[in-house]
Structure 1
């Protein structure tokens, strides 16, 4: 999908070019995203981390080094 971005005017067109077999349009993508969020959060969309959990997750992310292709 990333390679197609320069060929299109917006990211949505690139997304649908790549995932068009799964999603008919962006409304279907939004519906899928809403259902997925509910499944992941157990219907608590605003689930918060404690300060300790947030710091731990940030440290895990900040210790990752990017890989370049």
Structure 2
């Protein structure tokens, strides 16, 4: 693939336009069910991650203690 050279020997500009930046906080999103569904999913995933992590640490401690 070759790059096309535009005016004055420089490379041509992009062949697409970037979308405008999305707002960081959108108050209309708070009224949507999909926002709360995503919030609940994140909460459950975090609890599951912590549960597995704590069980792993407890299991490792009991396994190491039983070999001594």
TM over 0.5: no
* RCO comparison, higher one (Cα < 8 Å, 6+): 1
TM-score for the superposition, normalised by structure 2: 0.30
TM-score for the superposition, normalised by structure 1: 0.30
